[in-house]
Structure 1
């Protein structure tokens, strides 16, 4: 598995010198609150111990290079010719951050370029935000290297702009907020409209619980597919209801919404409105009653994503159903949907039993074997070396 030291050594092997430093940012699991962030809503993710490391060293010219052991060829760009039309594939997550910094007012004139080596143990396409981990690791590295003095909030917006404008994925900033603002042992209750990110102690270990991630290995990409269509449905629903965003609606508005909206748009709106309520309730319950009391909220969230937002897939449904049938406190799909991962909150001493049951269920269904592992609420982005 990669580490700060191995990433620094990979940089030295590739570029022939030691890096100036190594920075890292975590992936995230969203405990609850899906497709609410771009609707000015509430989300409740936490940073995980799986991270992306970025070893960086300055150059004498204005060239940017990036290499990753997971990619066969390095990528290169110039500080003088930055633009989304020049980015290709995975390197857009790196060069897009530099471009987004310039778009948000960072003066790149007189800046020297850099060499960078990436290493990661965040699974790709699993709904654990491997993209935000790259963006945030690069952003904090550049913030230090170029002595920009940008706040974490400013870095969140820069990374979101990179995702939206350079990569082309129409996501909100939940992933970047969790990656940059996470704290060990805590979730991050994010109010997108209010621009707040409050730590909430989760107490999983105190209650003898673990959070299991079931990576279905059904990969997704937010820049394509149904993500954009869901976002448009939300925008159309808000416009038809005469509000700026779906955050302005509550469950009391749903009887009127069913009269105003077509069936599909209503179900999209219903998911977001009820999911916001579930997020607020989950944060309240976990703080006052403990994590064992949130199971029904997780299950209701999955049902809403499956039936109303229609972003689940058979592999995710099977993972959730099997976990619950084998004693999970709660379970749901996590992430943007159309593949990716599910989560299950389980008693730690039953982890092997639940894992075996899910693997057997996938085999019986003829699905690709899932990758299953435990995650813990961990620290956000920081410098490692």
Structure 2
């Protein structure tokens, strides 16, 4: 399956049918959400930077119905290069409450805050975590006593296109009470809940911009998400007319697992923000110099165990500042229609991901795409995927895709999608 196939039927229809077969009764509600593709900035969002994110026509759909035994039972049906794959998993709401408690920070014998271990949850913990968080954030009744969940996902898991993030959103929308209006504030709240659930229960790091983009991006647009003020604005998606986009990834290759490293970077940002009493380091004047002075003091007083070296932290901070500047340039280029400027900007982003942020798993594939005359090639999800997102002149797009498909790589055309929606609800 070198060329990723376009779905021949709606994921929501297949989810509804599969749920009836799996759970033994009709779904109470069905919702779907799009895959997402990041142009730039996704690793700088935690710093308070800007993320530019688009949505795909490929979707994940969730069908749900209530249970009464306190259990969340999940079936995931996903398209893979080898064909359809089924995964079953289950977890109890009481177990999720215990895991939530384990993820709360504590205080050590010297009065310093302790960092909880990374969550180790799999599929059911992630999906159940979304439901548990909705209950505890008062979007679902506390009388909710479990759910049967069937997810159909057409988004390739290894493509760095937010397959699981789309599933998070689809589950949240399907579980939503019918009387809740899906206005922008509610969509923003659901995105926040999905991210909180992933951070608390999933072994994989969250990318908040994926939840936001899936819920708040209009067809034909990308979302420009500024984490300094949490604003979401729009620009035209650069995948029509003069250029097209593809995601490329090797089938069957080991997927990088740098969740711990990504978590360490985020914890460093959180600790520094807390030390300076600021919501984000981007809002802190002269942040790089002041944060490095603070880190040096931490090393002297408490030692360097569990802390980055000065050189590592300096590289991360340099990356955050430069990436935020670049995403601002990307946004300007998209709004003005100067798509030809993207290549230079994204090349520098990819270079800094390797040099200063330490994530280089997609470099070789990106270099090959550039050698084959792509306008740009950048990691689709550095640290968690080997995939690259490429922009290609329209007149060369078919040959470009065919060449990579002939080499045995998976080629996913990036096509305009639509925002997450509730497809049907029980009357």
From 132, 147, 165, give the equivalent of 1:114.
Answer: 147
1:23 Cα offset (Å): 0.9
Task: Give distance in 1, aligned partners of 2:44 and 2:98.
Answer: 26
List per-residue Cα deviations over 1:222-272 (Å, max 9, x = no partner).
Answer: 6x332123324445666899965331368x876888898732211111111
Change (3 A) 1:9 1:351: same
* Number of the residue aligned with 2:369: 323
CA distance in 2, matches of 1:84, 1:220: 29
CA RMSD, 1 decimal = 3.0
CA contact (8 A) 2:54 2:237 kept: no
Aligned residue for 1:116, secondary structure, equals: strand
From 11, 34, 45, the counterpart of 2:42: 34
Q: Pick the aligned partner of 1:167 from 188, 191, 202.
A: 202
Distance, in Å, in 2 between the alignment partners of 1:101 and 1:201 is: 33
Does 2:337 match 1:337? no
Once residues 112 and 148 of structure 1 are traced to their aligned partners in structure 2, the CA distance between those partners, rounded to angstroms, is: 20
Compared CA separation, residues 264 and 321, structure 1 to 2 (3 A): same
Structure 2: gaps (5+ residues): 1-6, 79-84, 101-119, 297-309
User: Aligned residue for 2:124?
Assistant: 91
Distance 1:267 1:128 in 2: 26
Matching residue of 2:419 = 380
CA contact (8 A) 1:322 1:357 kept: no
**Which of 23, 39, 47 is 2:31 aligned to?**
23
Q: How does 1:1-385 map to 2 (within 5 A)?
A: 1=7, 3-59=11-67, 62-70=70-78, 74-79=88-93, 82-83=96-97, 85=99, 88-106=121-139, 108-111=141-144, 113-144=146-177, 147-149=179-181, 151-205=186-240, 207-216=241-250, 217-221=253-257, 224-235=259-270, 245-248=280-283, 262-313=310-361, 316-358=362-404, 369-385=408-424
* Residues 161 and 325 (structure 1), Cα distance of their counterparts in 2 relative to 1, 3 Å cut: same
Q: TM-score, normalised by structure 2?
A: 0.77
Alignment-derived partner of residue 366 in structure 1: none
Deviation of residue 31 (structure 1)? Answer: 0.8
**Cα distance in 2, alignment partners of residues 319 and 226 from structure 1:** 22
TM-score by length of 1: 0.85
Q: Which deviates further from its counterpart, 275-284 or 123-132?
A: 123-132
CA distance in 2 between counterparts of 1:93 and 1:181 reads 22
113 and 235 in structure 1: CA distance in 2 versus 1, 3 angstrom threshold: closer
SS of residue matched to 2:176: helix
In 1, Cα distance between equivalents of 2:131 and 2:154: 23
User: Relative to structure 1, is the Cα distance of residues 244 and 11 closer, same or farther in structure 2, using a 3 angstrom cutoff?
Assistant: closer
Could you tell me how far apart the structure 2 residues matched to 1:17 and 1:253 are? 56
Contact (CA 8 Å) 1:270, 1:308: kept in 2 or not? Answer: yes
Mapped partners of 1:382, 1:226: distance in 2: 34
How many residues are aligned here? 372
* Pairwise CA distance, 1:172: 4.7
Deviates more, 1:258-267 or 1:208-217: 258-267
Does the 8 Å CA contact 2:158/2:249 hold for their aligned counterparts? no
Measured after TM superposition, the shift of residue 302 of structure 1 is 0.5
- Whether the aligned pair in 1 keeps the contact of 2:91 and 2:125 (CA below 8 Å) is no
What is the SS of the residue equivalent to 1:380?
Answer: coil
The answer (yes or no) to whether the contact 1:249–1:273 under 8 Å persists in 2 is no
Residues 84, 96 of structure 1: 8 Å contact kept:
no
SS in 2 for 1:17: coil
The 3-state SS of whatever aligns with 1:214 is strand
Structure 1 residues 183, 88: closer, same or farther in 2, change over 3 A? same
* Alignment match, 2:307: none
**Aligned-pair distance for 1:358?**
4.5
Mapped partners of 2:130, 2:290: distance in 1: 42
